[in-house]
Chain A
Amino acid sequence: MRIPLFRGKTRWGLLLLTLLLSSLLFAACGGNPSILNPAGPVAQDEANLFWFILGVATFVFVVVEGILIWSIIRFRERPGMPTPRQIHGNTTLEIVWTVAPSIFLFVVLVFTIRTMFQVDTIPTGGQQLEVTAVGHQWWWEFDYPTQKVITADDLVVPTGTVVHVKLYSNNVIHSFWVPNLTGKTDVVPGHDNEKWFSVDKPGTYHGQCAEYCGLQHANMAFNVIALPPDQFATWVSGQQQAAANNPQYARGLALFKSKGCTACHGIVGVNLNDFNTQPQTLVGPNLTHFGSRDMIAGGVLKNTPENLAKWLHDPQAVKPGNDMPNLGLSQSEVNDLVAYLESLK
């Protein structure tokens, strides 16, 4: 019996293959956080393995689907076809197709294990920077214990430096992932996980929590901002200062103290004496240099005065379930706070 619908099979196969190849090209050049667009040695190693396995898999895919489709066409039932020979098996063939994939897989395994040791060993020597990434529900805090700097949402690093990241959480499991720079390592309470990466060229790279961590898992992003070493040094010395006390923003400062903000947030020079880089001393982000950051509240908004005003009016409307309550601020109070916070460069 012949089924006309079946003739389309090869055409669909071709279409699928075209889709596959064109979309991979698309993945390689476009897209911000693509893992095929590596900007550092770790991501580069991982991407190389992808191209390798893609080659192997495409070969197997084409051969096996090819045999399948060819057999479907060649052996379809036609009028007058005799009953086929009743073949029950062939031990030689079985051995061949047990050994053949074994060899393939062995080669894959060798590359896997070699690269794994490469990316899992934290290099010693050269320029080093130590950072603790703290996973909160749902935002990232970054502590620089040597420099005595604390920031949130932005992880600022110098280029060409081994960034040694210690991962800390005391709530649930999160996962640190910057596709352009490095694969994931989970942030597990009670486990001293660490990882490393290094950035080749200055730029901003999208990072995101990759382990489901509750209501706002989707809004737990961060940016890795890579600066040339001299600019990084400037950034660090700026971040080490206490907050400027500009009388122009006195009303905002007063509101910060009186509206209960200090229960969760700290500003060095206001309610904190220094940068305490022990993680998790306060529930909310340290705001000493809030105005210098790119994003608000786990990357849910860009840091602009309008967005900050929106956030202060009702944080629960912007990011339902986060720890910050609606403080019931009036429009002028919001304006004063926005002016003050955005001045904290």
Chain B
Amino acid sequence: MATSTIVERPALVRQKRFSETYIGQWLTTTDHKKIGIMYMVTAFFFFVVGGLEALLIRTQLALPDGKVLDPQTYNEIFTMHGTTMIFLFVMPMFTGLGNYVVPLMIGARDMAFPRLNAFGYWIVLFGGLFLQSSFLFHAAPDGGWFAYAPLTECGVQGVNCIPATPSINMDFWALGVLLLGISSVAGALNFVVTIFKLRAPGMTINRMPLFVWMTLVTSFLLLFALPSLTAASGLLLLDRHLGTHFYQAAFNGDPLLWQHLFWSFGHPEVYILILPAFGIVSEVLPVFSRKPIFGYTFVAWSGVAIGFLSFTVWAHHMFAVGLPVVAQAFFATSTTLIAIPTAVKIFNWLATIYGGKLSFKTPMLFALGFVAMFLIGGLNGVALAIVPFDYQVTDSYFVIAHLHYVLFGGAVFAIFAAIFYWFPKMTGKLLNERLGQIQFWLMLIGVNVTFFPMHILGLLGMPRRIYTYAPDLGWNELNLLETVGAFIIAAAILVFLFNFVASLRQGQPAGGDPWDAFTLEWDTTSPPEPYNFKTIPVVRSRRPFYDKKNPETADWKVAVH
């Protein structure tokens, strides 16, 4: 053993793990901010898909006897437009925003269940791709976004509606919706626990930002409303494939069972789509008015009231199905009641900007546009609660006008307010103001040109979901006008996409607090570090960051909360 050999070893260079590469960081992340961004990007992708579907619909209807789409394709497109916009755009967009913003707003380091959070996201992505992939098989769902049975389970049309090897179109829908429901329940549970358990010291329930409040109410709505949809689509699948007859009148089932189950989910769902928007507007208006929200308690609790009432109004979607008159009177009353807390919110927003110092940055423009447009959606909504008038306009274009003023004039405007407001926090860069303003005005004009004439078409007797119409019914000019409006909206979205890409590359640096805002998410770097805050802030009022910046006039000194 005179000589000892030294084993040559290659220099120890630790290989990068997959989870450390750029792609891997995103694919394996459990950080609420990264997941939030993935949710939002995915949702926006589906917004573009659903928007293209809308353009196809409007192109087909631009002229009478349109020949752009055949009837089957048209029916698939309008079904997927509704399904995509609701389940794959607005819902994941709000989940994404909540994911990003809620933990920051309450001074937490992450969501309560980070892995569950990631799970929820991946289900949305693959559930969405699953639904859209139906187009590749020429089997896109064609039963409308509320999928009324027994139409959705008829194999043979014209004779007794009996499920006989039906085509798989509606299976895509039922399974897709079930998948997305799993994701929503996971997300909602996560929000509830996060908001109840992870608030920074001093942030009592009554000091939470209103966006957090509305996310909390929305999460409860999801938890209690989704089981009904799950049951409904489960029974639909059983009817379609295992020979049960839940919705089959010929076998003592009942087609109206579907409608009751679906709308018991469907009406809370409407508020799931709009309550977070209320939350966004309640954050943006105060900051750009340089005032606190007016009537915090009333804004928060009117949201809770809407949440409760939303479970009592479902049959106002069914006034024409022949319910007993007394039942209709009940649902007309509950629907009228739900308008009261909604009105209270609008008045509080007006009072918030009243006496303020308004700066019209793009987020503020969209928030003000939201108030102006949502009001129209509220008023024509009250009109729809007037049962005898509803007999005339339900299932007509009047309803299409109503739901688009609520969901486009409402939810989408709020979403853009949120994107322009929080983009600097997420990326460290500001979106371009000039382009934002151009986009806003194009959208405001586009929305009204597209959706206002729909009221009139409804009054003129145009039913919804028709792929064509005869030229002699007096509907031609307004339909053409709406199509022009739809392309104006499309132009606005193109401006946004350009703005997004350009600002990501060379946007103005934002700094931690570009808007001189009030809430905790601005009291950290942009974008925040993975752990969010160096030290967990201590909260003494509803506007903790305002207090920190204005120690002399801090809320906790002058106002009691």
CB contact list, A29-56 vs B, under 8 A: 30-36, 43, 45-47, 49-50, 53-54
- Would you call A203 an interface residue if the criterion is a C-beta within 8 Å of the partner chain's C-beta atoms? no
Q: Find out whether the CB atom of B75 lies under 8 angstroms from the CB atom of A49.
A: no
Residues of B within 8 A of A36 (CB): 459
Q: Find out whether the CB atom of A218 lies under 8 angstroms from the CB atom of B71.
A: yes
Q: Find out whether the CB atom of B391 lies under 8 angstroms from the CB atom of A185.
A: yes
Give the segment of A206-214, A231-239, A242-250 that binds chain B.
Answer: A206-214
The CA-CA distance from A10 to B341 in the complex, in Å, is 28
The CA-CA distance from A32 to B462 in the complex, in Å, is 11
Q: Find out whether the CB atom of B387 lies under 8 angstroms from the CB atom of A112.
A: yes
The CA-CA distance from A175 to B392 in the complex, in Å, is 11
- Would you call A332 an interface residue if the criterion is a C-beta within 8 Å of the partner chain's C-beta atoms? no
The closest CB in chain A to the CB of B79 belongs to A212
Residues of A within 8 A of B160 (CB): 170-171
Q: Find out whether the CB atom of A210 lies under 8 angstroms from the CB atom of B395.
A: yes
Give the segment of B85-93, B105-113, B132-140, B368-376 that binds chain A.
Answer: B368-376
- Would you call A331 an interface residue if the criterion is a C-beta within 8 Å of the partner chain's C-beta atoms? no
The CA-CA distance from A90 to B293 in the complex, in Å, is 11
Q: Find out whether the CB atom of A119 lies under 8 angstroms from the CB atom of B375.
A: no
* Contact A170 to B250, CB < 8 A, known contacts A87-B292, A112-B386: yes
Query: B391-408 toward A: CB 8 Å interface, digit per residue (1/0)?
Result: 111111000000000000
Q: Find out whether the CB atom of A23 lies under 8 angstroms from the CB atom of B320.
A: no
CB distance from A315 to the nearest CB of B (A): 13
Q: Find out whether the CB atom of A89 lies under 8 angstroms from the CB atom of B295.
A: yes
- Would you call A254 an interface residue if the criterion is a C-beta within 8 Å of the partner chain's C-beta atoms? no
- Would you call A108 an interface residue if the criterion is a C-beta within 8 Å of the partner chain's C-beta atoms? yes
The CA-CA distance from A43 to B395 in the complex, in Å, is 17
Query: A49-84 toward B: CB 8 Å interface, digit per residue (1/0)?
Result: 110011001001100110110011001110001111
Q: Find out whether the CB atom of B392 lies under 8 angstroms from the CB atom of A214.
A: no
CB distance from B46 to the nearest CB of A (A): 23
The CA-CA distance from A181 to B114 in the complex, in Å, is 59
Residues of A within 8 A of B379 (CB): 57, 60-61
Q: Which of B255, B256, B298, B386 has the most CB of A within 10 A?
A: B386
Q: Find out whether the CB atom of A46 lies under 8 angstroms from the CB atom of B391.
A: yes
Q: Find out whether the CB atom of A170 lies under 8 angstroms from the CB atom of B340.
A: no
Give the segment of B51-59, B348-356, B491-499 that binds chain A.
Answer: B348-356
Give the segment of B203-211, B224-232, B466-474 that binds chain A.
Answer: B466-474
* Contact A89 to B350, CB < 8 A, known contacts A31-B474, A61-B375, A179-B392: no
Give the segment of A95-103, A149-157, A335-343 that binds chain B.
Answer: A95-103
Q: Find out whether the CB atom of A185 lies under 8 angstroms from the CB atom of B320.
A: yes
The closest CB in chain A to the CB of B386 belongs to A112
The CA-CA distance from A82 to B358 in the complex, in Å, is 12
* Contact A33 to B460, CB < 8 A, known contacts A76-B360, A119-B391: yes
Q: Find out whether the CB atom of B336 lies under 8 angstroms from the CB atom of A105.
A: yes
Residues of A within 8 A of B11 (CB): none
- Would you call A183 an interface residue if the criterion is a C-beta within 8 Å of the partner chain's C-beta atoms? yes
CB distance from B79 to the nearest CB of A (A): 9
The listed residue (A113, A184, A210) touching B329 by CB distance below 8 A is A113
- Would you call B343 an interface residue if the criterion is a C-beta within 8 Å of the partner chain's C-beta atoms? yes
- Would you call B325 an interface residue if the criterion is a C-beta within 8 Å of the partner chain's C-beta atoms? yes
* Contact A186 to B388, CB < 8 A, known contacts A88-B559, A98-B344, A170-B250: no
The closest CB in chain B to the CB of A51 belongs to B389
Q: Find out whether the CB atom of B388 lies under 8 angstroms from the CB atom of A321.
A: no
Residues of B within 8 A of A84 (CB): 289-291, 355-357
Query: B442-478 toward A: CB 8 Å interface, digit per residue (1/0)?
Result: 0011001000110010011101111111101111001
The closest CB in chain B to the CB of A178 belongs to B461
The listed residue (A32, A46, A89, A173) touching B148 by CB distance below 8 A is A173
- Would you call B359 an interface residue if the criterion is a C-beta within 8 Å of the partner chain's C-beta atoms? yes
Residues of A within 8 A of B465 (CB): 212, 217-218
The listed residue (A67, A221, A320) touching B350 by CB distance below 8 A is A67
Residues of A within 8 A of B390 (CB): 183
The CA-CA distance from A1 to B359 in the complex, in Å, is 7
Q: Which of A32, A81, A106 has the most CB of B within 10 A?
A: A32
Residues of B within 8 A of A16 (CB): 448, 452
The CA-CA distance from A191 to B328 in the complex, in Å, is 17
The closest CB in chain B to the CB of A106 belongs to B336
- Would you call B222 an interface residue if the criterion is a C-beta within 8 Å of the partner chain's C-beta atoms? no
* Contact A101 to B396, CB < 8 A, known contacts A71-B354, A88-B292, A183-B390: no
Q: Find out whether the CB atom of B368 lies under 8 angstroms from the CB atom of A116.
A: no
The closest CB in chain B to the CB of A57 belongs to B379
Residues of B within 8 A of A182 (CB): 391
CB contact list, A183-215 vs B, under 8 A: 183-186, 188-191, 193, 206, 208-215
Q: Find out whether the CB atom of A46 lies under 8 angstroms from the CB atom of B294.
A: no
Q: Which of A137, A211, A213 has the most CB of B within 10 A?
A: A211
The CA-CA distance from A253 to B150 in the complex, in Å, is 38
Give the segment of B34-42, B151-159, B410-418, B521-529 that binds chain A.
Answer: B151-159
Q: Find out whether the CB atom of A34 lies under 8 angstroms from the CB atom of B460.
A: yes
CB distance from B315 to the nearest CB of A (A): 13
The closest CB in chain A to the CB of B74 belongs to A218
* Contact A34 to B461, CB < 8 A, known contacts A76-B358, A189-B161: yes
- Would you call A19 an interface residue if the criterion is a C-beta within 8 Å of the partner chain's C-beta atoms? yes
Q: Find out whether the CB atom of A108 lies under 8 angstroms from the CB atom of B386.
A: yes
The CA-CA distance from A112 to B339 in the complex, in Å, is 15
The CA-CA distance from A106 to B321 in the complex, in Å, is 25
Q: Find out whether the CB atom of A185 lies under 8 angstroms from the CB atom of B322.
A: yes
The closest CB in chain B to the CB of A28 belongs to B459
Query: B334-347 toward A: CB 8 Å interface, digit per residue (1/0)?
Result: 00110110011011
The CA-CA distance from A57 to B453 in the complex, in Å, is 17
List 26 interface pairs A-B (beta carbons < 8 Å), by A numbering: A20-B452, A27-B459, A34-B474, A46-B391, A49-B388, A53-B382, A57-B383, A71-B350, A75-B358, A77-B359, A88-B295, A94-B295, A112-B336, A137-B157, A170-B161, A175-B320, A182-B391, A185-B322, A189-B250, A191-B249, A211-B320, A212-B151, A214-B151, A214-B154, A217-B466, A218-B466
Q: List the 4 closest A-B pairs by CB distance, nearest first.
A: A183-B391, A190-B249, A33-B461, A31-B474
Q: Which B residues have a C-beta under 8 Å from some C-beta of A?
A: 70-72, 75, 143-144, 148, 150-151, 154, 157-161, 249-250, 252-256, 289-292, 294-298, 320-322, 325, 328-329, 332-333, 336-337, 339-340, 343-344, 346-348, 350-351, 353-360, 368, 371-372, 375-376, 379-380, 382-383, 385-396, 437, 441, 444-445, 448, 452-453, 456, 459-461, 463-470, 472-475, 478, 553, 555, 558-559, 561
4 new A-B contacts at CB < 8 Å, known A88-B292, A219-B468? A31-B460, A89-B294, A115-B387, A218-B468
Q: Which A residues have a C-beta under 8 Å from some C-beta of B?
A: 1, 3, 5-6, 8, 12, 16, 19-20, 23-24, 26-27, 30-36, 43, 45-47, 49-50, 53-54, 57, 60-61, 64-65, 67-68, 71-72, 75-77, 81-90, 93-94, 97-98, 101-102, 105-106, 108-109, 111-113, 115-120, 136-137, 170-173, 175, 177, 179, 182-186, 188-191, 193, 206, 208-219, 221, 283, 320-321, 323
